[in-house]
Amino acid sequence: METLRKIILDTDIGTDVDDALALTLAMKSRQDVDLQAVTTVHGNVELRSRIALKLLRLAGLKNIPVARGIERPLLMDRPILGWGGHEGRGFLTSKDEALNPCEQHAVDLIISEVMRMKGELTLVCVGPLTNLAAAIIKEPRIIDNVKGVVIMGGAIRLFNGLNLPYREHNILCDPEAAKIVFSSGMPITMVPLDVTFKVYIEREDLERIRAVGTPLTDAVASMIEDYLKIVKRNYTWLHDPLALATLIDESLVKTMNMKILVETRGEYTTGLTLALPAKQNDKQGQVKVCVDVDANSFRKLFMERICAR
Ligand code: RIB
Ligand code: CA
């Protein structure tokens, strides 16, 4: 595996707990990933940014900028989906209102960092793709200057065993943005539900995380516990951490090149991702799609990193 990867994490942190877990995995994998910035997207980006800032502070990281991104989907008449109302509850206090995201907008930060680090920066997108699509529109040169883009999003057809169509949340939130990104020709690795539904954390794992006893792990354990109460389950999926982990150990997943189309106009199908065979010389049609995961090895890596002191 190559050396340290410089990354920006673009996230809708705060709703599903897995974004916070992806950020924690990044913060605890400094030997593999060099987190340059966090950008937030979809819904209350101010609040999402404060959650990210607080987690960074709990890890002792004061110099990683967090930038607010775009609140609404690109087509402004599409709704903001999935805002649960619980975001930040039990984690942020009135004191955290002093946590300030940077002045620069997320879209400008993505553009300036990709162009500054020409060919060295990887974008890890674990929320709706609005910020990245807007960055492509504003500065198309980022397409040829980004090292890679890892996207948690979409579904191919393998995950539910029945091959039924399924619209994944991050794509459904902003299908037009997803269409722009997937047709851009950027070097994309797609981590769809087909693989992320195979990886999860269970209530019984909380004991091991709590036993570490640092402010960060205590906060993470409470966040997971609160989220399990909200979704009324004893487990929750690790969609976003798996996307990040593909940069830490690419052997965790098996990939195949495919062309990804995004449905934007169907009455029932808007937000679906359609995978077609990749054709030679079709630059827009070479998305590396994760089609299988070594779930046990991922789980081992995830727990070891989260519980490392
Ligand atoms: O469908 C899973 C995705 O939606 C994850 O990124 C999760 O955090 C939620 O936003
Ligand atoms: Ca997410």
> Structural domains in the chain?
5-306 (3.90.245.10)
Ligand 1: residue of 169, 173, 231, 238 to mutate (most ligand atoms within 8 A of CB) is 169
Q: How far is CA 218 from CA 106, 182, 251, in A?
A: 29, 38, 30
What is the torsional sign of CA 35, 12, 165, 270?
negative
Ligand nearest to the CA of 153: 1
* Whole-angstrom distance, CA of residue 280 vs CA of residue 244: 28
* Residue among 257, 233, 237, 164 nearest 195 (CA): 237
- How many helices (H) and strands (E) are present in the chain, helices listed first? 12, 11
- Across the chain, which has 309 residues, the per-10-residue mean pLDDT values are 87 98 98 98 98 98 97 95 95 95 98 97 98 98 98 84 85 98 98 96 97 98 98 98 98 97 96 94 94 97 97
For residue 34, which amino acid is it? D
Would you state the pLDDT for residue 158?
63
**84 Cβ contact list (under 8 Å, min separation 6):** 15, 230
Minimal-distance CA residue to ligand 1 atom 1: 169
* Residue among 9, 18, 29 nearest 245 (CA): 29
Residue 80 DSSP one-character state? P
Would you state the pLDDT for residue 2?
57
Would you state the pLDDT for residue 260?
98
Ligand 1 atom with least separation from CA of 152: 6
Q: What's the 280 CA to ligand 1 centre distance in angstroms?
A: 31
The distance in angstroms from the start CA to the end CA of the chain is: 23
Q: What's the 249 CA to ligand 2 centre distance in angstroms?
A: 20
pTM over 0.95: yes
Q: How far is CA 92 from CA 28, 70, 86, 221, in A?
A: 21, 22, 11, 15
Count of CB atoms within 10 A of residue 299's CB?
A: 19
Would you state the pLDDT for residue 298?
98
Residues with C-beta less than 6 Å from any ligand 1 atom: 12, 15-16, 18-19, 126-127, 152, 168-170, 239-240
Identify whether 239 is a catalytic site residue: yes
* Whole-angstrom distance, CA of residue 276 vs CA of residue 258: 6
Q: What's the 281 CA to ligand 1 centre distance in angstroms?
A: 32
Ligand 1: residue of 13, 15, 18 to mutate (most ligand atoms within 8 A of CB) is 18
Ligand 1 atom with least separation from CA of 19: 8
